């Protein structure tokens, strides 16, 4: 997060992450953003990427995700989640596959299924998605869609 002297807030996003979102959309995998920040920048980024499920200013991410999963008919053990801090612990423990960026504290890293190589803001969401798709054996098919 960045704050100007006048109090304006800005947030850095990696354009590489947008490919992870596009890959999910191609496969009809819902993407959900859950953040404790009441951030207009996050909402704008979600709109730009056509992410339907964007929730900001949350105090209970797990309850929100359980509601969304229920609405979508998805069991929590079929949900993959990337988180990096204390307010993600409940969700990281509740989902079927969890990951965190390399920049997450060691106590978060010890809770997840995969510690990613990238840090937050450096394309970590794309790494997360590509890893899941590779594990499922579909990444090459997705990439072929773009490399034709």
CA neighbours closer than 13 Å in the CB half-sphere of residue 25? 12
Write out the chain's pLDDT in tens, 148 residues. Answer: 556 677 666 566 677 889 999 999 999 999 999 999 888 889 999 999 999 999 999 999 999 999 999 999 999 999 999 999 999 999 999 999 999 999 999 999 999 999 999 998 899 999 999 999 999 999 999 999 888 7
Strand partners, 99: 82, 114
Domains belonging to the chain, first-starting first, are 15-137 (3.40.50.1000)
C-alpha gyration radius of the chain: 15
Residue in 61, 62, 98, 60 with CA at minimum distance from that of residue 79:
98
Judge if pTM exceeds 0.85.
Answer: yes
């Amino acid at each position: 997060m960045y704050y100007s002297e006048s109090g304006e807030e800005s947030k850095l996003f990696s354009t590489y992450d947008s490919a992870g979102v596009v890959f999910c959309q191609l496969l009809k995998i819902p993407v959900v953003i859950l953040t404790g920040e009441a951030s207009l920048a996050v909402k704008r980024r979600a709109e730009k990427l056509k992410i339907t499920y964007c929730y900001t200013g949350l105090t209970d991410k797990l309850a929100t995700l359980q509601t969304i999963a229920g609405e979508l008919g998805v069991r929590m053990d079929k949900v993959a989640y990337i988180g990096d801090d204390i307010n993600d612990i409940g969700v990281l423990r509740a989902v079927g596959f969890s990951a965190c960026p390399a920049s997450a504290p060691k106590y978060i890293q010890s809770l997840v299924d995969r510690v990613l190589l990238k840090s937050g803001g450096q394309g970590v969401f794309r790494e997360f998605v590509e890893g899941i798709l590779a594990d499922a054996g579909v990444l090459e098919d997705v990439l072929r869609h773009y490399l034709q």
